[in-house]
């Protein structure tokens, strides 16, 4: 098998030939068909997340087909299409796992960070954390669902949205999305489908991203330094920029909530207490649970969510990461081995 490997943080990935691993008990070997490129991969490559496994194969939005199964794997078949997300495994024993919060597990493994991921022709995964993906849509187009979709969905739930529709009065009617990348482009469609008013905030002057947001159902799009035309009920920050937090707090109304949806963010500047006064809230979202994944993967087809992807060959992983870093992408980057 071939894999793009990070040997040391802050160095380019290098292509390596490896012998294909055998799945251990409970694992499956996957023939990778597509792997999304997530901003978290940049944080891993840049050494911004502590204690990665090194060398590491990044990539946690894997779509592929089961090539081999270890002992004891149930509910999957050879050749079946599956998705592998960021949550690679959990301990099942800690207080978080036992209270429905496996996203906060004390001893987790994360795909493409603490266990090898999908920037490769083949990947191993713990079968219990993989999801069957019906062959309804293209491999590359479904890949961004595995993180941008799932963690976006958890962020959306934390913002008070979820099932039902905004028109029925459940959850935020006016929802701000800061950073219009892979996650926001998926969520905007769900929120619009549910009747919410989506306000998209991009880098100031990024006309292409603002037009893209409007094409996906946003009622307004502007620079993140602008105030929206109405106060927001809630906002989600996907861009890894701490300075956005006080701006989002300014834009939400009394009792509003600002959700930080990323795994890493630059430092948050100090801000006056009045920005959080009147029961405004700030929360972060960590990882995902398998329940989040099941909900999102059921809902996305109902909402008719489409993903906009740019395909790169596996060996162009460094170019894909550079394009993501520089904001040259619309939607999501996906590697095709």
Q: Which residues here bind Zn ion, judged by CB under 5 A?
A: 38, 40, 90-91, 94, 97, 105, 147
DSSP state of 309: E
Min dist. Cβ of residue 292 to Zn ion (A): 13
Task: Kindly state the smallest distance separating residue 246's Cβ from Zn ion, in Å.
Answer: 25
Closer residue to Zn ion, CB minimum distance, 127 or 249: 127
Q: How far is 221 from 206, CA to CA, in rounded Å? A: 10
Min separation Cβ 197 and Zn ion, Å:
27
The nearest distance, CB 101 to Zn ion, in angstroms, is 9
Q: What is the DSSP secondary-structure string of 255-283?
A: EEEEEE-SS--PPPPP--GGGTTTT-EEE
Q: 88 and 109 in contact (C-beta within 8 Å)?
A: yes
* Residue (94 or 282) nearer to Zn ion, CB: 94
> Please, which residue, 28 or 183, has the CB nearer to Zn ion?
183
For 74, 179, 292, 334, the CA distances from 239, given in Å and listed in that order, are 38, 5, 21, 19
Could you give the CA distance from residue 232 to residue 45 in angstroms, rounded to a whole number? 35
Cβ closest to Zn ion, residue 97 vs residue 332: 97
Cβ nearer to Zn ion, comparing 66 with 147: 147
Least distance CB 167 / Zn ion (angstroms): 31
Closest approach of Zn ion to the CB of residue 178, in Å: 17
Report the residue number, 147 or 320, with the smaller CB distance to Zn ion: 147
DSSP 8-class letter at 22 = P
Give the number of other Cβ atoms within 10 Å of residue 229's Cβ.
11
Angle subtended at Cα 308 by Cα 76 and Cα 35, rounded to the nearest 5 degrees: 40
């Amino acid at each position: 098998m071939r894999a793009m490997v990070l040997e040391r943080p802050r160095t380019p990935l290098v292509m390596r030939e490896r012998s294909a691993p055998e799945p251990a008990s409970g694992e499956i070997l996957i023939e990778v068909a597509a792997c999304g490129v997530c901003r978290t991969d940049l944080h891993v490559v840049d050494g911004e997340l502590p204690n990665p496994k090194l060398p590491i194969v990044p990539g946690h939005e894997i779509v592929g087909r089961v090539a081999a199964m270890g002992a004891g794997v149930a509910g999957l078949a050879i050749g079946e299409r599956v998705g592998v997300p960021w949550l690679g495994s959990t301990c099942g024993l800690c207080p978080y796992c036992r209270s429905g919060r496996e996203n906060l597990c004390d001893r987790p493994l994360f795909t493409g960070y603490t266990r090898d991921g999908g920037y490769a022709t083949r990947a191993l995964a713990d079968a219990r954390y993989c999801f069957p993906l019906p062959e309804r849509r293209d491999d590359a187009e479904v890949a961004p669902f595995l993180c941008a979709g799932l963690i976006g969905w958890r962020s959306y739930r934390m913002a008070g949205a979820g099932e039902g529709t905004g028109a029925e009065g459940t959850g935020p009617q006016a929802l701000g999305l800061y950073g219009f990348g892979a996650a926001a482009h998926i969520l905007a469609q769900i929120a619009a489908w549910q009747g919410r008013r989506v306000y998209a905030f991009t880098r100031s002057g990024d006309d292409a991203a603002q037009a893209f947001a409007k094409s996906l159902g946003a009622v307004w799009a502007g620079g993140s330094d602008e105030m929206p035309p109405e106060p927001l009920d809630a906002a989600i920050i996907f861009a890894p920029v701490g300075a956005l937090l006080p701006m989002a707090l300014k834009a939400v109304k009394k009792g509003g909530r600002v959700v930080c949806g990323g795994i890493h963010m630059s430092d948050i500047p100090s801000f006056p207490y009045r920005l959080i006064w009147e029961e405004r809230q700030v929360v972060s979202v960590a990882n995902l649970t398998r329940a989040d994944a099941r909900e999102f993967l059921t809902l996305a087809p109902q909402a008719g969510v489409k993903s906009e992807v740019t395909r790169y060959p596996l060996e162009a992983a460094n170019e894909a990461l550079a394009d993501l870093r520089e904001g040259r992408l619309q939607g999501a980057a996906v590697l095709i081995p």
